[in-house]
Amino acid sequence: MSKRTVVDQPDRPFYVGYHPEIPSALRAWLRRLVLLGGVVAIGLAWILARSHHDLPNTIYEFGAPTIQRGRLRTAPYPMLTVQDTISGGTTHFHLVSPGKYGAQAQVAGRDGQIVRLQGALIARRNQMMLELVLGTIVPTEGSGRRMNPPPVEDLGRQTLVGEIVDGKCFLGAMNPGAMQTHRGCAIRCLMGGILPMFTVRGPAGAERELILVDPAGGPASQDILMLAGLPIRLTGRLQREGDLFFFRADPMTYERIH
């Protein structure tokens, strides 16, 4: 049987952890390795930071309802219009129920009534919403008077590219409340009666939320709602009522953008 010969290699220093000093060559190699690792770590951190998208500035005052007084509108989706007694301006609050449900059952038969109610604020830019505290809608003085709707401005038939979102999550109940990762939640919210919005971007990149309705101005077709969370192209008539924009989308024109 042959014996193995151990060959000493003085040019390759050997180091054991309990020795007091690291050989100079090995120490220099480790220093370069640590510096390289630091550069790689900084580079990865910079790439991740650059790829991060800031979350939109939204509000959801969960568990902190306020009292609002205004006039109800039940169609195409529940809404409370509150008038500022000082400036004379109006604020529109979309209304939803807790969870993944709209407020249609809560406001049924109350169209045009002046009421007092409690709700938690949900907001994104100038779009406002209240998550109702169930059982708090109370008719108040003047509730028998009907509301004259604002004049409707027809902005013509348009083809727009954007995304269908559920108003509650998108305006602030979840953040982010859009895109395909939120698709399943959005579909369930829309099927529960929460108002659908069609988010589009203007020529300057500004985002705008359009209230999505059917060609007759009623609640949007369930066929379109199943496209929530996907980039799509829709054609319909765009109308403006005060500071609200309604998009009367034709379900036969939708086109998914891949």
Q: What is the CATH number of the domain that holds 64?
A: 2.40.50
pTM of the entire predicted model = 0.75
pLDDT exceeds 60 at position 86: yes
Structure tokens at 227: 């496209």
Above 80 in pLDDT, residue 87? no
Domain identity same for 180 and 88: no
Structure confidence by residue, pLDDT tens digits, 129-144: 999 999 999 998 765 5
Mean pLDDT of all residues in 136-161: 79
Same domain, yes or no: 158 and 232: yes
Last residue of a domain, one of 108, 139, 170: 139
- Residue that finishes a domain, picked among 114, 139, 164: 139
Which of residues 79, 110, 139 is at a domain's end?
Answer: 139
- 17 within a domain of the structure (yes/no): no
Same domain, 135 and 156: no
Residue 19 makes CB contacts below 8 A (sequence gap 6+) with none
Does 206 lie in the same domain as 123? no
The overall average pLDDT reported for the chain is 84
Residue 16: inside a domain, yes or no?
A: no
Inter-CA distances, 96 with 72, 119, 138, 156, 245, Å: 13, 9, 16, 30, 19
Kindly tell me if the per-residue pLDDT of 221 is higher than 80: yes
Q: Would you say residue 11 lies in a domain?
A: no
**Same domain, yes or no: 68 and 162:** no
Number of domains making up the chain: 2
Which H or E run includes 132? Answer: strand 127-132
| The pLDDT value given to residue 155 | 92
Confidence of residue 76 (pLDDT cuts 50, 70, 90): very high
Does the pLDDT value for residue 72 go beyond 80? yes
Whether 194 and 118 map to the same domain: the answer is: no
Distances (CA, A) of 229 to 82, 202, 237, 256: 31, 19, 22, 11
**Backbone dihedral region for residue 17 (phi beyond 0: left; psi -120 to 50: alpha; all else: beta):** alpha
**Residue 13 scores a pLDDT above 90:** no
pLDDT over threshold 60, residue 234: yes
| Model confidence at 64: pLDDT above 80 | yes
* Residue span of the structural domain in which 229 resides: 152-256
Q: What is the pLDDT of residue 47?
A: 76
Quick one: pLDDT band at residue 51, thresholds 50, 70, 90? low
**149 preceded by cis ω (within 30°)?**
no
